[in-house]
Every structure is written in structure tokens, then in C-alpha cells.
Structure 1
């Protein structure tokens, strides 16, 4: 008997891979798929991705893969999320003019960010936009294009992020969701929830900015041309979508004040839901994935990517072996302490020139010690971020752990021990693409905003080793301050050959 259940398609374009999910309107996962891809680092401090060869390729591949043996007419709606904030300039036909400039890991516009803050006023930017200008901000990256690639900028008529580019290719609509816009300081006023026209003329002169909508609104319908490429039916509704971390928050029902999500991925990301706009000099105040929702967010520049780096230099040793070896090492890694700033740092301090450190190495330390110390370093970074959230009165009532780093319980266990906070682990851990299916369901009326799709599978609680980490956390903070000048000096010497990287 042929299946007749309605389906919702969610696709998430990530840093190292893209994922897709088909779900029913009650949240049951019907199928999922993934495809890996790379990033380009053409110069030190530059991190880019090709919109056509990566973003659109993945949307087409994953859609066709999941619909290969299914009736595309059952898909009631599609929603795409993606990495952000990123900057992709395109011409009047929507054709990309260069590779997209990625989020905070791309540090090319740091000096321009400082210049813009001096011109506009740092306090004014923080108050209106919710965030200081840094390597994470999209606005300075646009200004960088105008200054450094003027001929290209003169041809630019569209600015896309990963999700909005996919929406444009699917529907022809030039839209951006409010949340992604709130990660574009100094272009967006999070209080009025509009573009700041007078600042836009300074940062992006003469450039039409996209229409603003909420992630769970309909952007348009799949065009005949997009249908031919993807296998979707023409006229299929397409939701606006948003940045991946907020789609992931939707996937695990993080949307009430006091809810906090820790995302264990290539970078570690933190989202706390607040009942009103909250400002912190070194964190990112944004609107949420729904109207009336506010969030305060932070993100480390490198977390899971560090363990991937170590696996690579350890000869490709399986992660399972490294985790098992690290789990045999006592908390504190026998006196080995690491700083996780391998790609600079984003929050709780913005320092693109910070660098990683391994302190306390002896001849008795093995690969298990090093791997555990790297996990502990990211946990110390998580505690540092959560302390900054609490310092401005953000309640941390419920912490939810998501992401690929939760597949083995060692990393979340260490984070709970270091932070002293329990973490809920959801039943369905497919990721942001699952949140996209929920946004698509809300956009088409097949689900309500408050519907819960994801139960709690487990709770990771702090163990006895929490006390061991108190002294180590103090040393962690001291190690950064005492070595920061050396880190910066080494950063100036770190020019090296460019290469393609798969995170």
C-alpha cells in the first residue's frame, strides 16, 4: 500500500556538512541524509564557502536523495537553515560574485569593525543592535567588500546568507529572516526590528537589503526551474528559515525564558532565551526564531574542530579509540591544561589573535591525556561563557545539550562536571534540519509554535569530579591572561600555506 502521510522537508547547510530530514506533521522522523563538504582558507584569517558548489549542490543532492523512492507530492513544505552570519554578494540575477565570507571564524574585517564602531559609537551600536562589532558581525564584512573589492561590490544587488540563498534559488524571493538580520550589526535595530537605513548607507551604500520576515513564515513557492533540479513539485511552499543554531534550538523546544542550549559541534554555541532584550558587551543579543522572542548567544571559535585536528595528527585514529583512551584518564589530565583558542576566540571575549596552548606537558602524557585536556579546555570555555550569561541576569534554568559531540557521553559529562549544571539530552538528535521541519510545519499550520516534538532521553548530571575542576578552572583563566601577549606575538608569525580543509 502506498504511503499517504504528509511530509515536511528540512535541510541544514553546515560548516562541514549538510543534513536533511523528512518528518511527519507530528514530528516523527521518516528519513534523514547527510553529505560532507569543505571550506576554503585562501589566506590566513579568511574562511569561505562556495554557494553554488556547496550550498545549492547540497540542497539538490539531499532533496533528490530523500525523494528518490517517495512521492514528492507528499511534501507539504520545505525549510532550509544554514551557517551564519555569512555574507554572499550576488548580482541582479542572484548569481554569486565570489565565495561567501563565513561567520566569526573569518577575521578579515576586524580592523574595519573597530573603525565603524569609532564612527557610529560603540555604545550606540550595542544598544541598538545588541552586539558589539567583531569578526562575528556581518555588517563589517559587507563594508570590507565595498572597500577592498569595489568593482565586485558595484555589481552587487543581493546579499545572501546560506538559508536565504537557498530560498532565492527555490522561489526567487529576496527575503531574510529577522533573526539572521539581527546578526548583521550595525544594519538591524533589534528593538524596532527593522533595517537601520542611515547606518546601512554607511556600511552598504546603495545596496538593496532583503525583505524581513520571521523564520516560520512562507517566503514563496518552489518554481518550475527549481522543481526540475530538486525533484520537488512546483508550488511547494518554502518557509523563510534561519541560522542553523536557532533552527537547532527549535528542534529541542528551547524557546522559553530560562531555556539554554549548548551545541556541541565544530564550534560550541550557546543560546539563552530571555523575556526581553538583554545586552552584554561580549555576547550577542538577538531576536529569536519567533516574533516576541529574544535570545542572548555566544560561540567559541573552535571546539569539536580541535578534536578533529588532533585525530588528524594522530594518524586518523578512530574517535571511539580516542574517547575510550581519554575516559581512562583522571579528571584534570594528570596536570595537563589546554586553552582552546586554536582559531582565535569569539566569546566571551573577542580576540581573533588568541591561540591554543598546551601547558604542563611531560613525557608520561599520552594521546588520551591530550585528547581529554582538549575536551576539558572546551568545557572551561563553556563555563566562562555561562558565567557571563549569568552576570547580566540571564536565568539558566534548563540546559539542553545537542550536536554531534553528544554521541559519546564523555564530553557532556566533562562539561557538566566543570559547569556544575545538569544537561538534558533530547530523544531526537538529528539537528537543525529537524528544527527546519518544525518551522515548516508551523509555517503551513500543520503544527503550533508551542507544540513539543522532542522528549528528554537522558539527563547528564555533575559528578564527584566537579571539585577537581574548581582549581583547574582558576588556572585556566590565569593561563590565558599570562600567555595572551605570547599568543598574539605567535599569531603574527603564523603566516603559512593555504589549503582546503574539511572540518
Structure 2
């Protein structure tokens, strides 16, 4: 099997043996355009605050470059590959024509014609209105999303396009998650997966929000679900079915076979989200197993056999992670991005000289690890990319309290690491207070390579951390889903048990440090509640945007 993971800055492919999940070869392709945040490619068209776009050409290049390289690295013949699965960041969404052509290919000078990356947050005013109107009307679907729709999700971003560039909105015959668009390019058949439709597209209990609600947002928005080209589970809307996870979307087309070097006609799995497929890679597909995929941001996902309303969650969707179970999602909008921002922006040259080949992150980590808990005297709020859970407000911003003239870079670095752990504890506690127990906390993603950070999380959470047994969790998870789609396994649980892997209790909390962190976490909660109403932070952001 080949699994392909489309991330924020790059795409990676891995070749996996169906019999045991062994990873035989992999390759990474960096996106030429990266994250488009300031100006459109090859132009001087400037973007506003909190914009984040991507180029579909970068995604196609991953298929052209990374897939053949991974197969070559694995030392297998392309004819041995029986299926391909893909995953994507979400909600990364794009406007396209009815045949799947991205509008940015036709009108590259229009910002709203480009795909909006998951961390495009400038639709917050539109999300606010979506939430306000839904709350006033008592829309039944709103509690499934913790009481608020994020500015990252499909409806907020689409409403922004409608109201800021109605011509692009009118030309967009499809509003489609990149997770589904890339599958369309692979097999030539348009499909919509149940995961992104539920979590990002407000598809609940067989329908989208009602037309009269959409009309109240904007009369021209009433037919928006038609652009999503999907509908009832097991039925059709616009001729396109809502596809189950682990299902087959079709077979590899001749065009995609030429791109990838794989045989035409092999199975193409239904699209999925990077975080959600990682559960299978960690063999964490049973109720109560929370998987935290920690990278530039963190996504927390967990299957459950019960439905509950959990405040501030990204969503709860039937069959959204594993068919037959409810799937919960929460998240933190920035984690690794916070550490990178600090290193890139605030560390003095003298530290870089001392770090040398060790690298700045490793150097600061080594200095921070020498400190006793609380010695730096700082508390930070992990809102540098806004707050996804539990406040669901991307106009919030980061806060650091307690700095003095004696504060050093390693102090701030440690406080930032700790702040993300406090944010994770807030999420876990919110689940459990809502009657949804977290039985096991499993870590995946690039940040698990940092033992200091992992130990901080174990101490702050006061619980053991299990860790995934793969450095390419999403790609492995996509390959597992492809194995199910190709018929090698009966279902995702069976495939995950054979092909997935994790180490249980790889990190355990230290009681003394955990006690010290309890005191600091109480201060974090006090700051969280004080600044969480957004009044001060919103005013500061408004002043910045006006300037």
C-alpha cells in the first residue's frame, strides 16, 4: 500500500507492507509555495491579516515526486502496489468548477480563488455571525460543535468568499475539501468523505443547516450546500455520494498512474483528515483512546460509544473516525508553530552562536530542562494562533505573564511549552466533565521526538502518555485505510490491530513535578477565564488590523 500525507508545508509518501504494517520506504516533497500568507504567487497582490492559502499545484507535485521516490526507496515493483490512500489537513478547502478545476488556475490574481489553508483565520467575523444566528434560533446542530463553529470550517470561509468576492463565489460550482479534491484527481470520480462533511461541513443527522437559517445569514447563501455536492448518507445530492471511511472511492486513473508511476486501476481509498487516520496508525480506534497529533498545531481525536455535548469541541460525528462509533475532535490552533515563532523572532544572536550544530530548539530545550518547575516565574496562554478549543475564538492572542529584566529566552521557551500542555489538560478535563472519559492519551506527530516536551505533558496531565510507533502516522494511517478499501482487511479495527502500533505508558508523570504543575495550572485557568472573554485581546487585534 501507498499512503500519502498532505501537510502544511510538505507532502510525504510511505510504502507499507499489508501483512504487518512495516514501512518499507518513504519520501517527502516540500511545497514550492509553502504557506501563502503575504502576497499571491508571482504577483504583488497583498493578502490581509490572518490569511493563509495554498497552491493545488504543490499537491499534484507530491504525487509526481514523493510517490515514485517512496516506491523506489522501498525497493518494490510498482506492480506490487494494490492501493493508495491519502489524508489532508482540514479544513483546507477550495473553490472549483464542476470538473474539479481550481479557480485559482483560471484567475490567479483573485485571493479568494485560492485554496484556504486550515489556519486561514480571517473569517472569524463570519464565524461569529454563524454562531450568533444559530444560537438565537436554537439550531439543533450547534451543540454537536461545542456551541460554536470555528472560523477554520467550511461555512465560515465560504461566507467570507460570498461577502468579499461574490463573483468568485458565483463561479465556484464546487466548494470542496482538499482531502476530497486530491482523491478526485487520483481516480477521476468526485466523492465526499463523511469525516470532513461532518466535522468541517456541519453535516449532521443526514442534512446540512436549513435553508431559512442560511438565508438569514445572507440571502445569496441559501444554496451553498449545492456547492458541497453531497447529501444523505447512502443517498445522493448532485449525483455524489457521502463516502464511508475505509471505503473505495474508485480506481487509479490513467492520468494519475502517469503522475505516480503506480498501476492504473488499483484501489483509491476515500479521502480523510490527517489526524483522524492517525488513530488507525496508533491502533487507537477503541472508545476512550484520545490521540493527540502534535505538530504545527495539535488535533485531539477520540472514538466513543456515547454521544454527549462537550463545550468548545470541534465536533462530534457519527462514523467520523471509526464506522459504528461517535468520533470527537478538539484541537489547539498552534503548538509547534509557537515554538518556531519564538525561536525565529526573539532569540538573540549569542544563543545561536552557542547552539551551533545542536540547533536552537534542542539548545533551548536543554537549558529549559535544567530548571525546576515554576522557577522561571511565568505563565503563558497558548493562543498565539487563536483558540480552537475550548473557547473557539481565533481572534484571541497569546499572553505571557511574569516577565522581568531577569527573564531569559529559555525561561520563555519553557513557559510556552508548558502553556500548550495546560491547553491540552483543559481539553481533557472538559471531555471528562461532560461525561466522556479519556482512558488513554496517545501522542503522535513530529513533536513526540522531544522527550522533554513529552515529560512536561505527562506531568501536567498527571497521566501516562502512550506514543505511536511510527514517525509517519498519517501516511501509515492512510495506507491502513487503503488496505481496508482494497479488501485486505474486513474493517479499520482489524487492519489497525495488525498494521498499527504504539508503546503504552512510554512517559509516566513524576508526582512531585505534577503537584507543582497543579499550582501553575490553577493560575493558567485564572488567566484563561480572565482573558477568554476576548474584550481586551479583540480590541488590540482591531487596532492592529486598522493600522
- Same fold (TM > 0.5): yes
Check whether the contact 2:148–2:392 (CA below 8 A) recurs between aligned residues. no
**Equivalent-residue separation in structure 2 for 1:433 and 1:357 (angstroms):** 35
> 2:15 corresponds to which residue?
22
Does the 8 A contact of 2:26 with 2:69 survive in 1? no
Shift of residue 71 of structure 1?
1.8
Matched ranges for 1:319-334 at <5 A: 319-334=361-376
Decide whether the 8 Å contact of 1:272 with 1:394 is kept in 2.
Answer: no
CA 156–456 in structure 1, closer or farther in 2 if over 3 Å, else same: closer
Unaligned stretches of 5+ residues in structure 2: 38-46, 104-112, 215-220, 231-240, 353-358
CA-CA distance at 1:123 after TM superposition: 4.1
Deviation track 1:323-369 (CA, whole Å, cap 9, x = no partner) reads 11211122224212211111111111112221112211123332221
Which residue matches 1:306?
338
Q: Secondary structure of 2:140's partner?
A: helix
Give 1:151 shift.
1.5
Match of 1:501 in 2: none
C-alpha contact (below 8 Å) 1:344/1:355 kept by paired residues: yes
- The Cα of 1:254 is off from its aligned counterpart by 1.8
> Is the contact made by 2:144 and 2:316 (CA closer than 8 Å) also made in structure 1?
no
Moved more, 281-290 or 80-89: 281-290
In 2, distance between residues paired with 1:370 and 1:197?
47
Summarize deviations over 1:109-144 as a string: whole Å, max 9, x none: 222233334444354232567763221321222222
Aligned to 2:514: 466
> In the alignment, which residue of structure 1 is the partner of 2:6?
13
Report SS of the residue matched to 1:124.
coil
Match of 2:300 in 1: 270
Within the candidate set 57, 60, 64, 2:61 is matched to 57
Aligned to 1:158: 174
**Which of 63, 72, 77 lines up with 2:78 in the alignment?**
72
1:40 aligns with 2:36: yes
CA contact (8 A) 1:245 1:269 kept: yes
Counterpart CA distance in 1 for 2:439 and 2:97 is 46
For the structure 1 residues 291 and 101, does the alpha-carbon distance in structure 2 shift closer, same or farther, using more than 3 Å as the test? same
Superposed CA RMSD: 2.2
The question of 1:450 aligning with 2:497 is answered no
User: Residues 215 and 252 from structure 1, CA distance in 2 versus in 1: closer, same or farther, beyond 3 angstroms?
Assistant: same
Deviation digits for residues 254-295 of structure 1 (CA, Å, limit 9, x no counterpart): 211111111211112211221033222311212323321212
Instruction: Report what 2:142 is aligned to.
Output: 126
Report the counterpart of residue 183 of structure 2 in structure 1: 167
Residue 27 (structure 1) shift: 0.6
- In the TM superposition, what whole-angstrom CA distance separates every residue of 1:43-92 from its partner, at most 9, and x where no partner exists? 2122111122x222222221121134642111100001000022211012
CA–CA distance in structure 1, aligned partners of residues 78 and 546 of structure 2: 48
Match of residue 250 from structure 1: 280
Equivalent in the alignment of 1:108: 122
| Equivalent residue for 2:93, pick from 82, 87, 99 | 87
Kindly indicate whether the alpha-carbon contact (under 8 Å) linking 2:293 and 2:299 is maintained by their aligned counterparts in 1. Answer: yes
1:164-207 C-alpha deviation (Å, 9 max, x unpaired): 11111111111111011102343x11x34x55574677260643
Q: Does 1:406 align with 2:399?
A: no
1: distance between equivalents of 2:64 and 2:309?
39
Aligned residue number for residue 350 of structure 1: 392
The whole-number CA distance in structure 2 between the counterparts of 1:31 and 1:179 is 28
> Residues 36, 318 of structure 1: CA spacing in aligned structure 2 closer, same or farther, 3 A cutoff?
farther
Distance 1:364-1:130 versus aligned 2 partners, 3 A rule? closer
Q: Which runs of 5+ in 1 are unaligned?
A: 1-7, 498-503
**2:418 maps to 1:376:** yes
Whole-angstrom CA distance in 2 between matches of 1:361 and 1:131 = 35
Give the structure-1-normalised TM-score. Answer: 0.91
Conservation of the 8 A alpha-carbon contact between 2:311 and 2:430: no
Measured in 2, the distance between the counterparts of 1:407 and 1:39 equals: 24
| Bigger shift: residues 114-123 or 463-472 | 114-123
Moved more, 195-204 or 209-218: 195-204
Q: Is the 8 A contact 1:11 1:80 kept in 2?
A: yes
Say which SS state the counterpart of residue 67 (structure 1) adopts.
Answer: helix
SS at match of 1:93: coil
Specify the SS of the correspondent of 1:488: helix
- Correspondence for 2:428: 386
Structure-2 change in CA distance of 1:318 and 1:114 (3 Å): closer
Q: Deviations over 1:204-261 (max 9, x none)?
A: 0643514210121110111111211221211121001201100111211221111111
